[in-house]
Amino acid sequence: MSMGKAVGNIDSSINIEVAYAIPETQVLLDITVPLGTTAMQAVEQSGVLQQFPEIDIATSKLGIFARVLGTQGTPEPNMYELREGDRVEIYRPLILDPKEIRRRRAETARKKKDASES
């Protein structure tokens, strides 16, 4: 009977990763969590919030393999139940809006073009 219990224990937990990166470093934590753990719970259990206290988990977006949770029909991070091998990614807020970056690049290119024509 102990074999059945061991198999039950193996089946009741899963191995996942929690990833976070800043320009200077990145962290990829391998953790084992109980089956039914949500993405939000995994982040809280991983210890990454203690390593990086600047993470505001209430406002940070979370994703699974570059797919942002809570968008495109995916459940919210506190509802998404993890599967074996999932990688929970914590996304930092954007420093600049991508549209603003493109606008600035276009303006710089226009100025260079105008300067070369004069």
Q: What angle do CA 87, 88, 92 make, to 5 degrees?
A: 130
The verdict on residue 43 lying in a domain is yes
Q: Is the pLDDT of residue 7 over 50?
A: no
Question: What pLDDT does residue 45 have?
Answer: 96
User: Which domain CATH number covers 85?
Assistant: 3.10.20.280
8 or 61, higher pLDDT: 61
Q: Assess if residue 105 is contained within a domain.
A: no
pLDDT, tens digit, for every residue of 19-66?
A: 999 889 999 999 999 999 999 999 999 999 999 999 999 889 999 999
- 44 domain-assigned: yes
Look over the chain and give the mean of its residue pLDDT values, rounded to a whole number: 87
Q: Please tell me what DSSP assigns to residue 86.
A: -
Q: Would residue 49 count as lying in a domain?
A: yes
Q: Within a domain: residue 114?
A: no
- Tell whether 102 is covered by a domain: no
Domain hosting 30: range is: 2-93
**Structural domain includes residue 34:** yes
Q: Please count the structural domains in the chain.
A: 1
Decide if 112 is inside a domain: no
Predicted pLDDT at 5: 38
- Virtual torsion, Cα 64, 66, 72, 77, nearest 10 deg: 30
pLDDT tens digits, 89-118: 999 876 667 787 788 888 888 888 888 876
Predicted TM-score (pTM) of this structure: 0.71
7 compared with 28, residue with greater pLDDT: 28
In the predicted model, what is the mean pLDDT of residues 63-76?
A: 94
Q: Strands 87-91 and 13-22, how do they pair?
A: parallel
